[in-house]
Amino acid sequence: MTEIEHASLEQAPLEWDTQLFRTALAQYEQALPDAEVEDAVAERLRFPERAMIASVPVRLDSGKWTVFPAYRVQHSSVLGPTKGGIRYDPHVSLGECAALAMWMTWKCALLRLPYGGAKGGVRCNPRELSTDELQRVTRRYTSEMMPVIGPQEDIPAPDMATDEQTMAWMMDTYSMQKGYAVPEIVTGKPISIGGSVFRSEATGAGVVMVIERACERLDTPLAGKDCVVQGFGKVGGTAALDLVARGARVLAVSDVSGAVYRPDGLDLDALGTWVSTHRHHLNEYSEAEHFSNEEMLELPCDILVLAALEEQLTAHNAPRIQAGMVAEGANGPTTLEADEVLAERGIPVLPDILTNAGGVTVSYFEWVQDLGRIFWNRGEIRNRLREKLADAFDRVWSFSENRSLTLRRAALVSGIREVAAALGARGIYP
C-alpha cells in the first residue's frame, strides 16, 4: 500500500474549498471504500488538475466599464479532453466550478465517454446584461481561456443562462484566433455550424429514458404515473413533455417564480406556448393553482423530477417528500443529509451523474461528428443515446443490487473505478 503524506495546507483554506465542493468531495470519500482505489490514485483525484481564474473586462452599453471574475476548472484529463458547461450566474465561484467538474468526471466515466470533467463560468447577472454585452463577455472570456481550452484539451458546452448563441460566439472567437473554422471546440452550438440536431432536447429526453428504464426494472409502467417537475427550462421543460408523451401525467411544474398545479394534469402545450409567447413567469399563469417551489416539492406524486438547481432536497424537507421516486435532472439537487433520509425511507433516487448524462452523451456525439465531418439524423442520435444510457443504467442497477448500495453510491463507484483504472494503468506522471 502506498503511503500518502498530506501537504501542509492547514494555514489557509484551498481556493476551491466551498460547501458545494465539500459535498462533491464527501460523496467521493463515501464511495471510495467500495471503489477499492489505490491510495495514491485516490489522493490525486481529490484535487482538480487545473483551475484557472481570469477577469473579464466588458464595456457596457452605457459606455461604462465593468470587470467580471471568470473561472474554468478541469478535474481530470486521464480519459481524454475535459468537458463541461459554462454558466453565467452571480453565484459562480471557483468552488462551484470545482465541484461540478468533479461530478462531470464521474459522469463521463460512468457513461464510458473518453472525457474528463470540467466546468466554468462568469460571475455576473445575465438578466441585467443586453445581448451585445453578453456577446462581449463571451468573446473576452473565450480569449482569456484560449491557453487551456481546445478540441483535444477542454471542450465547453452550455449550462445555466448560456445557450447555443453563446456557443456560436465562443466557436467564432476561437476560430478567428486560429484562422480556420473549429466547430469541435464547443458542443451545444447551432446546427448551422455543426451542432447536433438532438442536443437541445438531449438532457431532458435522457432523464425520461432513465426513468422509463427504472420503471421497467421495478416492473411498473410509466404510463399513468403522476409526476411533479421542478424547473421548466431546457431540462425540465423537455422532460415534462416527454413524460406526457409516454402516458404519464404532469401535475405540477415550476420555475424561479413558483409552481403551477392541476390535480388532473397540466396542459403542457398550452403552458409552453403561454410562456414563450408572453415571456412571463409561471406565477402569472391563470389556468392553474399556485404553490411555492418549496410546497411543490412536497406534493404527493409517483415521480419527482428535479431540474432546476443544487441543494433542493435537504435534511429539512426530505422527511416530508411524498414522491415514490426522485429523478435528478439538475446537478447536485439532493444534499448528503437528504440522501440518507430518502434511503432510510426507501425512496429511490435516480442520481444526477446517470440521469442527466444525456446532455454530455449527445455532446460527445456532436464532437465526434464534427471531428469526422459526418452528421447523423435525429433517429440515429436518439437510438445511440438510449443504448448508452441503458448500458450505464444496467451496470449501476446490478451493482447497486449486488452490493446493497444506493443507486447514487453505485453510480459514483462505477464512475470512480473507470477513472482510477485508467490512472492506475497510465501511472501518475512523472
**What residues make contact with ligand NAD under the rule CB under 6 A?**
159-161, 203, 230-236, 254-256, 293, 307-309, 329-331, 356, 359
Residue with smaller CB distance to ligand NAD, 309 or 347: 309
Beta carbon nearer to ligand NAD, 220 or 314: 314
- Burial track 106-134 (b if 16+ CB lie within 10 A, e otherwise): bbbbbbbbebbbbbbbbbbebeebeeebb
CB of 14 to ligand NAD, least distance (A): 23
Question: Measured from the CB of residue 253, what is the shortest distance to ligand NAD in angstroms?
Answer: 8
Task: Determine the Cα–Cα distance for residues 23 and 65; give it in Å rounded to an integer.
Answer: 36
Closest CA to 272 of 325, 236, 320, 313: 236
Cα R_g (the chain), whole angstroms: 21
Residues 6+ apart with CB under 8 A from 193: 168, 171, 181, 183
Task: Give the count of beta carbons closer than 10 Å to the beta carbon of residue 430.
Answer: 3
For 237-286, give the DSSP string. Answer: HHHHHHHHHTT-EEEEEEETTEEEE-TT---HHHHHHHHHHH---GGG--
Per the annotation, the verdict on 83 as an active-site residue is: no
Between 308 and 420, CB nearer to ligand NAD = 308
Kind plus residue range of the DSSP H or E element containing 43: helix 39-44
The least distance separating ligand NAD from the CB of residue 129, rounded to whole angstroms, comes to 15
Q: Which residue is nearest to ligand NAD (CB)?
A: 233
Instruction: Supply the minimum distance, in Å, between the C-beta of residue 193 and ligand NAD.
Output: 18
Choosing from 107, 119, 225, 234, the catalytic residue is 119
Which one, 44 or 290, has the nearer CB to ligand NAD? 290
Nearer to ligand NAD, 144 or 159 (CB): 159
Q: Min. distance of Cβ 282 from ligand NAD in angstroms?
A: 8
The residues that are catalytic are: 119
